Amino acid sequence: MAGSAGPTLHAQTTGESGPRVAFCHGLFGQGRNWNQIAKGLADVCRPTLLDMPNHGRSPWTEEFDYLEAAGLVGQTLRSIDPDDPWVVVGHSMGGKIAMLLALTEPELVERLAVVDISPESTTSFSEFAVYADAMRTMDLEAVDTRQDADAAMREAAPDPGVRGFLLQNLRSKDGGYAWQPNLDLLHAQLPAIGDFPDLAGAQFDGPTLWVGGSRSRYITEDAEPIMRGLFPKVHQITIKGAGHWVHSEKPQEFATILRWFLKR
């Protein structure tokens, strides 16, 4: 799927030299979730933080489609730099988008880093339905402060780190608050977000890093042969003590691994 002229995603680029590195966030995330990692690597690369479709300041779509999302990422990267290949890093939903970009537009992707997700249907996805329900049904007219919103989300997301991550999507608007993502679409199409397209015969031959958290359920033994079939040059690393949000739970360890991958 070659990129073509069309809409692009919201992107923020820093750094002055080195390879171009695009960061793709997961469900209910934003490009700025990668800020800490990007700042730590700005001496060796040029990071670009992307808001995925239906998230942050990027355009909304009429349906959720991984191939369409990968195409939008490709168009955006070409609009930023039409000449240089990219290192593409993706977490969770963004990891699936990054994998599909590498499989469908391998000329654009020099190397790939996939964070705590597999190229298969995701079965351990139920907590996101709970989060989406809580966000959609929150009475925003009764929310006067962010503390009110935090209290309203506490039952659905008891972990304060997860709750804070979700509440980053709440924006001040017209004297009140509004959600920034396309919540209705994302909630309705959670099964599609948990799925992964079947690209018969597709393969990406570039260097691939596959990072998981030891406490996460998103990478299983059954996924390993699928991953190696699609990405034969994959190097798998598990970070001890990390859950699904590997790069935010263990930022120093993750940055060290990614720095090694960029230089190898």
Catalytic option among 92, 118, 216, 248: 92
Give the pLDDT of residue 6. Answer: 64
Quote the pTM value. 0.94
Domains of the chain by range and CATH? 11-122+200-263 (3.40.50.1820), 126-188 (no CATH)
CA distance 25 to 183: 16
187 is catalytic: no
CA distance 71 to 4: 8
Closest to 23 measured CA to CA, from 48, 60, 58? 48
Catalytic option among 126, 184, 205, 214: 184
The DSSP annotation for the chain comes to: ----SS----EEE--SSS-EEEEE--TT--GGGGHHHHHHHTTT-EEEEEPPTTSTTSPP-SS--HHHHHHHHHHHHHHH-SSS-EEEEEETHHHHHHHHHHHH-TTTEEEEEEES--SS--S--HHHHHHHHHHHH--GGG--SHHHHHHHHTTT--SHHHHHHHHTTEEEETTEEEE-S-HHHHHHTHHHHH-----TT----S-EEEEEETT-SSS-TTHHHHHHHH-TTEEEEEETT--S-HHHHSHHHHHHHHHHHHH-
Residues 50 and 97: beta-carbon distance below 8 Å = no
CA angle 136, 32, 188 (to 5 degrees): 25
184 is catalytic: yes
Q: Burial, 252: exposed, middle or buried (Cβ in 10 Å; 0-12, 13-18, 19+)?
A: exposed
Catalytic option among 25, 55, 91, 244: 244
247 is catalytic: no
Phi, psi for residue 135 in degrees, rounded to 5: -70, -45
Q: What is the mean pLDDT of each run of 10 residues along the chain (264 residues)?
A: 64 92 97 95 96 97 96 97 96 98 97 97 82 95 94 95 94 92 95 93 97 94 95 98 94 97 92
Give the pLDDT of residue 2. Answer: 39
